[in-house]
């Protein structure tokens, strides 16, 4: 049998890709030329090309007895466990001053495992609005009663969100409902470090019964921040305040996988309930050896020289970028958190700027909306211990030469308005054509209709109201309704983390509520004032039905009446 998809499926796939193409958001796999200069990857310590890492890794591989299996052979819970894996967990937990640790195949799996099973039914998860897609994925699978975002790295927003939920939920007040606070220690897009101590103060004050639990993702901090690269949390000495710390190995540690640091009870619970651990083949020996190699180097202080070199380059690049700011402040704006290896160079033409750098052999990436909010598009630059001053000079010079003359940056940054900007309206960009004819108000109507399928508390717009929307909107509603019947499928379409962001914040929730209220008012007015022909017909049919059936009971669930 031919394995290529049927014509109609192929057509659906192509159409989806074409829509992305039209929005310049189609993703492609790329292979970079070997000679290019890395200003993009997460290999912050340049460990993946470092001779000391290679030597240690090969040495550990060589130490394996002749018939020692290189493959794990199964799930950790079946044949995939080993003394080597358990010793490694203890070693890493010791390094991070944690009571115990559990390895996962990736940071993605770790977050999915943690968020999907640790919050208990009815619990509350409060999360930073910029939290990584893997945490969102886990939250989507979780049994928590509510998942509520707070403004990025804002203790006052956390305070506000917590207060409103504490006031509304006596179980939180009494301490019998758990509240999980989900943050990252350093964020990948802006490179900023979370105000963890301020968050702790807020939680201590508002949840004095101890039912507030932090889950912190140290993916970008591991190896880079804290003494010996222990992470931000240990750098602050607050590791005991974290219920769970997730450290990943695929970034500065030049390896693959992740560890969840937690108490033995939590570890045991994860072994029993985290499906991303249970239903997958565990990492084989070469992976474990590479993680061990990286952690041995950290523990011996061997990577501190890489950390120091990285910080020197960060300071140098910062100075050079300040020069750039002074050179043309209207064209460039640099966002940078002190000591972070991640820089944002906001430009009028991020794509063109990134392309110009790439042509010169410097790998940088343009980060566009909706990955970042509209108006905050940028070129993201990541520094590495292995970069040189000459490479940094070359990059800055390319920035200077590439910026075409045009209106100042501020002119392109949307001014804050009371209205939601068109490009941030809650359109499901992943499956709707970016058709100018459909304005965002129509899209709001469509969204309202779709709430029904998403389980958001909004009732379906009644028929007479739906009639009022323009033809485009009605057509789109019809189409989406068909698709929306299968909620699972709909969720799958939302898989795209970038676009998902806009569905999952309080502002959208408020909009849904407003729409629901408006719909209810309009429907009530319409129903009482002008019953449509269709309604009359339906009423007549109902009467007839009563006359025949006699009992006048409600229509069966799912009927069209």
Nearest approach, Cβ of residue 210 and ligand PLP (Å): 27
What DSSP designation does 414 have? P
- According to the binding rule CB under 6 A, does residue 107 interact with ligand PLP? yes
- List strand residue ranges (DSSP E) for 8-165, in order: 37-38, 100-104, 124-128, 146-150
Residue carrying the six token digits 């709430």: 451
Query: Residue 114 or residue 446: which is nearer to ligand PLP going by CB?
Result: 114
**For ligand PLP, which is the closer residue by CB, 249 or 440?**
249
Q: Does 106 bind ligand PLP (CB under 6 A)?
A: yes
Site membership for ligand PLP, residue 108 (CB under 6 A): yes
Pick between residue 234 and residue 248 the one whose CB is nearest to ligand PLP.
248
138 interacts with ligand PLP by CB under 6 A: no
Q: Which of 19, 76, 132, 245 binds ligand PLP (CB under 6 A)?
A: 132
Range 514-543, binding ligand PLP (CB under 6 A): none
Residue 192 lies near ligand PLP (rule: CB under 6 A): no
- Cα–Cα distances in Å, from 81 out to 50, 73, 89? 30, 9, 12
Q: Which is nearer to ligand PLP, 245 or 466 (by Cβ)?
A: 245
Pairing state between β 146-150 and 124-128:
parallel
Q: How far is CA 383 from the centre of its chain?
A: 22
Which residues 269-288 are close enough to bind ligand PLP by CB under 6 A? none
The residues that bridge with 190 in the sheet, in sequence order, are none
Q: Give the residue among 307, 391, 294, 359 at the shortest CA–CA distance from 33.
A: 359
Does 134 bind ligand PLP (CB under 6 A)? Our answer is: yes
* 345 DSSP β-pair partners: 334, 379
Element at 358 (helix H, strand E)? helix 350-359
Distance CA 538, CA 533 (A): 9
Query: Which window, 106-114, 147-155, 229-237, 330-338, contacts ligand PLP (CB under 6 A)?
Result: 106-114
Number of residues that bind ligand PLP (CB under 6 A): 13
Q: Does 450 bind ligand PLP (CB under 6 A)?
A: no
Closest to ligand PLP by CB, 132 vs 384, is 132
Instruction: Write the interaction track for ligand PLP spanning residues 198-227; mark x where CB under 6 A is met and - where it is not.
Output: -------------------x-x--------
Q: Can residue 111 be called a binding residue for ligand PLP (CB under 6 A)?
A: yes
Count the alpha carbons within 13 Å of 389 in the hemisphere toward its beta carbon: 5
> Which positions ≥6 away from 42 have C-beta within 8 Å?
188, 220, 250, 251, 252, 382
HEC per residue, 298-349: HHCCCCHHHHHHHHHHHHHHHHHHHHHHHHCCCCEEEEECCCCCEEEEEECC
Please tell me whether residue 136 binds ligand PLP under the rule CB under 6 A: no
Applying CB under 6 A, which of residues 195, 250, 284, 464 lies at the interface with ligand PLP? 250
Q: Are 89 and 102 in contact (CB under 8 A)?
A: yes
Confirm or reject binding of residue 191 to ligand PLP (CB under 6 A).
no
Segment interacting with ligand PLP, rule: CB under 6 A, options 103-111, 112-120, 321-329, 507-515: 103-111
Closest residue to ligand PLP, judged by C-beta, is: 107
Around Cβ 170, how many Cβ atoms within 10 Å?
10
Q: Which is nearer to ligand PLP, 289 or 515 (CB)?
A: 289
Distances (CA, A) of 163 to 100, 150, 201, 434: 33, 12, 14, 39
Query: 106 or 303, CB closer to ligand PLP?
Result: 106
Instruction: Using the minimum distance from each CB to ligand PLP, give the nearer residue, 135 or 148.
Output: 135
The residues that touch ligand PLP, with contacts defined as CB under 6 A, are 106-108, 111, 132, 134, 184, 188, 217, 219, 248, 250, 258
């Amino acid at each position: 049998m031919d394995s290529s998809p049927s014509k109609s499926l192929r057509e659906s796939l192509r159409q989806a890709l074409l829509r992305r193409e039209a929005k310049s958001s189609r993703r492609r796999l790329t292979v970079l030329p070997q000679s290019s200069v890395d200003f993009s990857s997460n290999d912050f310590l340049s460990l993946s090309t470092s001779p000391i890492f290679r030597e240690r890794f090969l040495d550990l591989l060589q130490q394996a007895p002749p018939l020692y299996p290189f493959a794990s052979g199964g799930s950790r819970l079946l044949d995939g466990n080993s003394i080597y894996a358990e010793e490694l967990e203890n070693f890493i937990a010791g390094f991070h001053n944690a009571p115990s640790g559990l390895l996962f195949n990736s940071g993605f799996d770790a977050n999915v495992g943690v968020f999907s099973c640790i919050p208990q039914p009815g619990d509350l998860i409060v999360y930073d609005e910029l939290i990584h897609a893997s945490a969102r994925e886990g939250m989507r699978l979780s049994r928590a009663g509510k998942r509520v975002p707070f403004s990025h790295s804002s203790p006052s927003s956390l305070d506000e969100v917590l207060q409103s939920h504490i006031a509304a939920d006596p179980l939180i007040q009494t301490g019998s409902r758990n509240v999980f606070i989900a943050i990252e220690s350093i964020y990948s897009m802006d490179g900023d470090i979370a105000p963890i101590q301020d968050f702790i103060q807020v939680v201590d004050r508002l949840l004095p019964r101890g039912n507030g639990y932090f889950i912190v993702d140290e993916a970008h901090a591991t190896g880079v921040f804290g003494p010996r690269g222990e992470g931000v949390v240990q750098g602050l000495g607050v590791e005991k305040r974290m219920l769970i710390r997730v450290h990943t190995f695929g970034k500065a540690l030049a390896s693959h996988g992740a560890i969840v640091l937690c108490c033995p009870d939590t570890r045991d619970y994860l072994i029993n309930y985290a499906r991303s651990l249970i239903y997958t083949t565990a990492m084989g020996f070469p992976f474990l050896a590479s993680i061990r190699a990286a952690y041995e180097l950290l523990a011996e202080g061997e990577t501190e020289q890489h950390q120091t070199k990285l910080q020197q380059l960060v300071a140098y690049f910062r100075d050079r970028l300040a020069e750039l700011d002074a050179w043309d402040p209207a064209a460039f704006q640099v966002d940078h958190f002190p000591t972070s290896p991640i820089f944002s160079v906001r430009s009028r033409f991020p794509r063109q700027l990134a392309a110009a750098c790439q042509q010169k052999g410097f790998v940088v990436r343009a980060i566009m909306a909706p990955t970042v909010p509209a108006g905050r598009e940028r070129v993201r630059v990541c520094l590495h211990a292995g970069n040189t001053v000459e490479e940094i000079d070359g990059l800055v010079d390319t920035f200077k030469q590439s910026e075409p003359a045009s209106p100042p940056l501020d002119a392109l940054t949307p001014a804050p308005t009371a209205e939601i900007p068109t490009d941030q309206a809650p359109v499901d960009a992943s499956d709707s054509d970016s058709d100018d004819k459909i304005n965002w108000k129509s899209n709001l109507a469509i969204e309202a209709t779709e709430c029904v399928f998403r389980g958001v508390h909004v009732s379906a717009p009644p028929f007479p109201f739906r009639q009022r929307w323009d033809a485009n909107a009605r057509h789109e509603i019809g189409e989406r309704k068909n698709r929306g019947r299968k909620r699972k499928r709909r969720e799958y379409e939302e898989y795209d983390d970038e676009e998902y962001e806009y569905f999952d914040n309080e502002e959208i929730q408020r909009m849904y509520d407003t729409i629901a209220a408006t719909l209810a008012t309009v429907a009530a007015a319409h129903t009482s004032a002008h019953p449509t022909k269709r309604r009359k017909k339906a009423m007549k049919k109902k009467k007839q039905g009563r006359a025949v059936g006699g009992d006048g009971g409600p229509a069966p669930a799912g009927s069209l009446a």
